[in-house]
Amino acid sequence: MDIDDDARDWPLAVRGDHDAFERVFDRHADLIFRFARRRTGDVDLAEEIVSQVFLEAWRQRSRVELLGGSLRSWLLGVAANLVKRHWRRLDRRNRAIGRFALPVPVLDHADEVAERLDGQRRLIGLRAKLEKMPRKHVEVLLLWAWEELSYEEIAKVLNIPVGTVRSRLSRTRKRLSDGEGTGIGDRAFPRRKPDGDDSPVPNPERSTG
């Protein structure tokens, strides 16, 4: 199925067509699951988030807006909010019982991205860079590189201006490209470049700064 089929199925779902809603679920459930699992590291929680996302979609179906004929960005936006709520809840619980807060998902992000690289040296270098970056910048990078969302879709998911998406991604890619030994650039994300950018992704081995 093509995501453009949302434009056909969603109006039917809005009118209460359960078969149309099921087709939408089948089309996007795997994407939402991968998104949640990468950010929580918990398969069971990711499955729960998938259920919550589509329950919310059904409840709010008359108010849901498609972007480019697709529900993808709206669904990811709901999933992102649920993930944030999960981490805030854990932080509050751990503070209440006097423990150190659990690791933020950026560490899991670093592991996930680093698995794509060859060699322990690159893994260590990439992990160190990602851990030093603001979580909000890493989130933009992952939506762009992994989920292959457009700037407009990322802006909708994170509820930020498109210009902010551009600036965060630019700064994050530059920081990952600076230095040696991380493997970031055309080797790490070969299929993705900024929208409208025909230049190659910077190669850190040739980077001058």
**Hey, what long-range contacts does 175-178 have (CB within 8 A, 24 or more apart)?**
175/129, 175/133, 176/126, 176/129, 176/141, 176/204, 177/202, 177/203, 177/204, 177/207, 178/204, 178/207, 178/209
Residue spans in the chain of domains classed CATH 1.10.10.10? 103-209
What pLDDT, on the 0 to 100 scale, is given for residue 193?
Answer: 45
196-207 pLDDT, tens digit per residue, is 443 333 333 333
The Cα–Cα gap between 6 and 17 comes to 13
What pLDDT, on the 0 to 100 scale, is given for residue 111?
Answer: 57
The answer to whether residues 191 and 148 touch, using CB atoms and an 8 Å cutoff, is yes
More confident of the two residues 157 and 60: 60
What pLDDT, on the 0 to 100 scale, is given for residue 55?
Answer: 94
pTM of the model: 0.56
Average pLDDT over residues 79-106: 65
16-48 pLDDT, tens digit per residue, is 999 999 999 999 999 999 989 888 888 999 999
What pLDDT, on the 0 to 100 scale, is given for residue 174?
Answer: 82
> CATH says 103-209 is which class?
mainly alpha
| DSSP-based three-state secondary structure for 174 | helix
Identify the top-confidence range among 67-71, 89-93, 141-145. Answer: 67-71
The Cα–Cα gap between 181 and 175 comes to 13
> CATH says 3-96 is which class?
mainly alpha
Residue spans in the chain of domains classed CATH 1.10.1740.10? 3-96
Pinpoint the alpha helices (H) of the chain.
Answer: 6-14, 18-40, 43-59, 72-96, 105-114, 120-132, 135-145, 151-158, 162-177
Which residues is 70 bridged to in the sheet? 67
Band of pLDDT at residue 158, cut at 50, 70 and 90: confident
